[in-house]
Amino acid sequence: MNETDLITKLTAGLPANDSVHTGPGDDCAVLKFGDQTLLFKTDAIVEGIHFERDTPPEKIGRKALARTLSDIAAMAGTPTHALVTLGRCEDHDPEHLMHIYDGLKSLALEHSVNIVGGEITTLPKLTLSISLIGTVEQPVLRSGSQMGDAIFVSGELGGSLADHHLTFQPRLTEARWLVSHFEVHAMIDLSDGLATDLRHLLNEHTGAELRSPAVPISRAAKLAAKENPSSKTALLAALTDGEDYELLFTVSPKTAVAVLDGWKAQFPDTPLHCIGKITDTPGITLRDDKGARTLTLHGYDHLN
């Protein structure tokens, strides 16, 4: 059983009333609260999985909050309030934990997020879990992609372990600008790799065709492939490494050029790439000058 299958089984039949607009299965829960639409998200990072013992503590705290901010960005929201659960180990001294919170506080101040409480417990491995609330006018879901849509991705992909997974910038401003100027059909942030997360934008009737040369590959992924040719190729790293935290979204092909031009003018330091299109053939196809092949590989899965 993979991670998606387990989540589907665990969340089947959970209680929810009319206040729940969107429950499990998207980047955030979407809740109706009076006249407001709220986003609600929780996420955890664990030592040995998401960071190492010798990772600078400020970067640990920063990453813990940044991951949830990226999910708010994926729905074009604005983060507001957070709770922090800290699972400490007995051998983590208070000074180290204080530096972790310095990283949390710094990023929270940058994005005007109020940290309003939390919980401390003891666990075998250092763990931080963030619960985050945000507001949104019109949330963008994963499920709205349409036949023929152009597929876009921001930034560059692959090789995140070199440093990017600790220092990435959640694309909050970019997502809100995008939705305020164009009709975005579906959107997600890339946490588990393009090969996995793109599938969340598809259904049983749709697929995707990606142009291999258009997939943006990071310098770190290219360097790793060059230094270790027997390992994965740079393209494979871009498809499967995960923890890129870039925006992946679809729009009508009629607006694709305008999206590219507008983005370039607004965010000249953050590249945007049109990498393919939504098709009526289920699955994902990779196409280059030599032809097409079916992509069977997936990205990161917590259960495999």
Looking at the fold, whether 159 and 284 belong to one and the same domain comes out as yes
Token pair 């955030």 in the structure block, residue: 28
Is the whole model's pTM more than 0.85, yes or no? yes
Contact by Cβ (8 Å): 273, 214: yes
Q: What pLDDT score was predicted for residue 302?
A: 57
Q: Quick one: pLDDT band at residue 291, thresholds 50, 70, 90?
A: very high
Between these two residues, 224 and 93, which has the higher pLDDT value? 224
Q: Is the dihedral of CA 97, 101, 102, 103 positive or negative?
A: positive
Does residue 213 carry a pLDDT above 70?
yes
Q: Is residue 143 part of a domain?
A: no
Instruction: Kindly provide the b/e burial profile for residues 12-50, where b requires at least 16 CB atoms within 10 angstroms of the residue's own CB.
Output: eeeeeeeeeebeeebbbbbbeeeeebbbbbebbbbbeeb
Residues 6+ apart with CB under 8 A from 77: 28, 39, 134, 135, 136, 139, 172, 176
Determine the average pLDDT of the residues in 126-153: 96
Q: What pLDDT score was predicted for residue 24?
A: 87
Question: Coil, helix or strand for 298?
Answer: coil
CATH number of the CATH domain containing 284: 3.90.650.10
Out of 107, 135, 163, a domain closes at 135
Between these two residues, 207 and 15, which has the higher pLDDT value? 207
Share of the chain above pLDDT 90, in %: 83
DSSP string computed for 71-122 = HHHHTT-EEEEEEEEEEE-TT--HHHHHHHHHHHHHHHHHTT-EEEEEEEEE
Q: What is the number of structural domains in the chain?
A: 2
CATH number of the CATH domain containing 117: 3.30.1330.10
Q: What pLDDT score was predicted for residue 300?
A: 64
Looking at the fold, whether 190 and 287 belong to one and the same domain comes out as yes
For the chain, what is the mean pLDDT? 94
Residue 252's domain comprises 150-294
Determine the average pLDDT of the residues in 132-144: 96
Q: What pLDDT score was predicted for residue 11?
A: 77
Walk across the sheet containing 291-294 and list its strands. Answer: 184-189, 247-251, 150-154, 272-279, 207-211, 283-288, 291-294
Does residue 231 carry a pLDDT above 90?
no
Contact by Cβ (8 Å): 236, 194: no
Determine the average pLDDT of the residues in 101-129: 97
Q: Quick one: pLDDT band at residue 91, thresholds 50, 70, 90?
A: confident
Q: What pLDDT score was predicted for residue 158?
A: 97
Contact by Cβ (8 Å): 111, 172: yes
Out of 106, 135, 164, a domain closes at 135
Tens digits of residue pLDDT in 198-208: 999 999 899 99
Q: Is the dihedral of CA 196, 189, 44, 16 positive or negative?
A: negative
Does residue 156 carry a pLDDT above 70?
yes
Looking at this protein, which amino acid is placed at residue 221? A
Determine the average pLDDT of the residues in 21-49: 93
Contact by Cβ (8 Å): 92, 125: no
Q: Is residue 54 part of a domain?
A: yes
